[in-house]
Amino acid sequence: MNFPPDNYQQLREIVSMLRNGEMQLAIGKKSFHALERMIDDADLVAMNNIVTLGQAIKLSSASITRLAKLLGFRGFQQFQQIFKQKSKLANSFYSDGINRLLQQSPQSPLSLIKQQSLAVITNIEDTLAALDEDSLMQAKSLLAKKNRVHIFAYRHFSAIANMLRYGLALIRPNVQMLVQESHGVAIALGQLKKEDLLVVIGSAPYSNITLKIASLANSQQCQILAITDTNHSPLTDIATVAVNIPSAKHFYSNSLVTNSFVVEALLSLTALELGGTALNHLQRHELLLSQLEVST
């Protein structure tokens, strides 16, 4: 790990490693809690001077400066720059991806597709290497046994959320999307119970709405299954169990190919967990389709 970290994500990883005891650093409890607060609200650091920031996080300017130097920064301004870059990243993520494509040498459509297919294969291999047996066992158990399953994702990950909802609803009852309209989300969050499961899906740059919904659901003791990109994703901090799918960078957005593959695998594992219950539920669905004269 670099000191100072090169970007906000590396700084987040340092905080995660400190929290999990994977790294030792001579940082006091009060300073560490302040650092966690800054990581949770990057705009607070990016948009305020050291005095205003100190008042918000209840840490003196001198302590903030010492903390910045402990992390390898020359001082507060260099430390703050990491948070300013993070704010820019959230707004330029897609255009940065297009720029990566434009900077490649001109190539034929077929050669581009072949190049991207190699990247997808590598991403699937990396995912298989990173998947944890215990996490998969917990994930399929939660998807099969929880009273109600709510699913939420934002931006283009909503496609994966819909795929999961459709596949899961074929084999068990009480599966629904957590609606995305602000008022609807507030109502849905208020109905979450301890016996429910919320599946949240998201990768860097993590949307604030996804993080806030996961945090609020966690505070209501609703268990959370996070489908995200790394062990250091902010979603893993509040998830009951996380399934990590590394994000490929060949596309101008996060690639969904590996996510689709893993979600299909999770659905198969859940069907096996449910056994005859899944079969009976699916047969009732097929009967309704035939009665509606809809092609199965």
**To 10 degrees, what angle do helices 133-145 and 257-274 make?**
60
Query: Other C-beta atoms within 10 Å of 144: how many?
Result: 21
Q: Which two tokens stand for residue 61?
A: 């300017």
SS3 277: helix
Side chain identity at residue 24, one-letter code:
Q
* CB 34, CB 57: distance < 8 Å: yes
Cis peptide, bond prior to residue 234, ω within 30 of zero? no
Q: Is the dihedral of CA 99, 105, 109, 115 positive or negative?
A: negative
DSSP string, 82-151: HHHHHHHHHHHHHHHHHHHHHTSPP--HHHHHHHHHHHHHHHHHHHHHH--HHHHHHHHHHHHHSS-EEE
Q: Where does residue 259 rank: exposed (0-12), middle (13-18), buried (19+ CB within 10 A)?
A: buried
Q: Which two tokens stand for residue 16?
A: 């995660």
**To 10 degrees, what angle do helices 76-102 and 61-70 make?**
50
CATH topology of domain 125-291: Rossmann fold (3.40.50)
pLDDT in tens, the chain (296 residues): 788 998 888 898 898 888 888 888 999 999 999 998 898 888 889 888 999 999 999 999 999 999 999 999 999 999 999 988 876 555 667 777 788 788 877 778 898 888 888 888 988 998 998 899 999 999 999 999 999 999 999 988 999 999 999 999 999 999 999 975 555 778 888 888 889 999 999 988 788 889 889 989 998 999 999 999 888 788 988 899 999 998 766 777 788 999 999 999 999 999 999 999 999 999 998 898 888 876 65
Residue 171 dihedral angles phi and psi, to the nearest 5°: -120, -5
Query: Other C-beta atoms within 10 Å of 58: how many?
Result: 11
Q: Is the dihedral of CA 170, 175, 178, 183 positive or negative?
A: positive
Listed by start position, the domains of the chain span 8-90, 125-291
Enter the pTM of the model: 0.75
Q: Which two tokens stand for residue 266?
A: 């999770």
List Cβ neighbours of 201 (8 Å cut-off, separation of 6 or more). 151, 152, 153, 157, 160, 161, 164, 210, 226, 227, 228, 259
Q: Answer yes or no: same fold for 8-90 and 125-291.
A: no
CATH topology of domain 8-90: Arc Repressor Mutant, subunit A (1.10.10)
Apex CA 119: angle with CA 10 and CA 110, to 5°? 145
Stretch (H or E) spanning 33: helix 29-40
